Amino acid sequence: MSAAATLHRIPRHPHAWLAWAAASQLLVLLLWWRLGWTWGLPALLLTHAAFIVPVFLPRVRLYAPVVTRLPAAGRQVWLTIDDGPSDDTPAILEALARHGARATFFLVGERALARPELVTAILEAGHEVANHTHTHPQFRFWALGPRAMAEEVGQAQRTLAALAGSAPRWFRAVAGHTNPFVAAPLRAHRLTRVAWTTRGYDAVDGDPVRVLQRLRRGLRPGAIVLLHEGARHGRSVELVEAALCLLREQGYATVIPD
């Protein structure tokens, strides 16, 4: 069985969380009825927190299955680059070629639609494109309702499928957030949610030393490495180059699950 087949985890029961939610609130009612508010109120707060906190935790599987690492036996990592395509894409492709590295580019649909030639360049260079929503609603993705969530995932999927000639297999949520409505469109488009094992916060921090220190802490065989392009600090190409040097120094090869 291929690595991709092993990792491909399409949500089977998009609304399974409802059963847990109903059971938890029945428990709250029972506690409140039998033991009063001193037990019922804390139980109410705790059960609500149990469904709210996972929204902001990228590796938690409550609302959809998620891939957090490769089942790799050797010193291999899955290099992923978010937020493109951008003006940085050509230089990043050159850096990848110099290092003999392969990557999965998690692309934003509307950005890909505006720069279709860069999608073609990514694919022609032997890399992979994946779904990173259509408009990248950074500050409100976690709060999207079912219709808006379906549009963000579905429109990006249709755009990237048309540009690439085949539908993406992987999806990365904005900031890794989820909510109760993310699983249904993933199931509809046969997408698997991908998180990460290690990140350097290179989207917000342009200092190579700090970025590499964070990346190094999470490097291990099978790690999913998260990088970005088009960051506002303007140093994304430099940071990708530095990360590639780090991987080479540590003896890691980059692979795409295929």
User: Would you please indicate which residues are annotated as catalytic (active-site) residues?
Assistant: 82, 228
Contact 71, 3 (CB under 8 A): yes
CA proximity to 31, closest of 51, 49, 54, 23: 23
User: Scanning the structure block, which residue is given the tokens 């999207």?
Assistant: 144
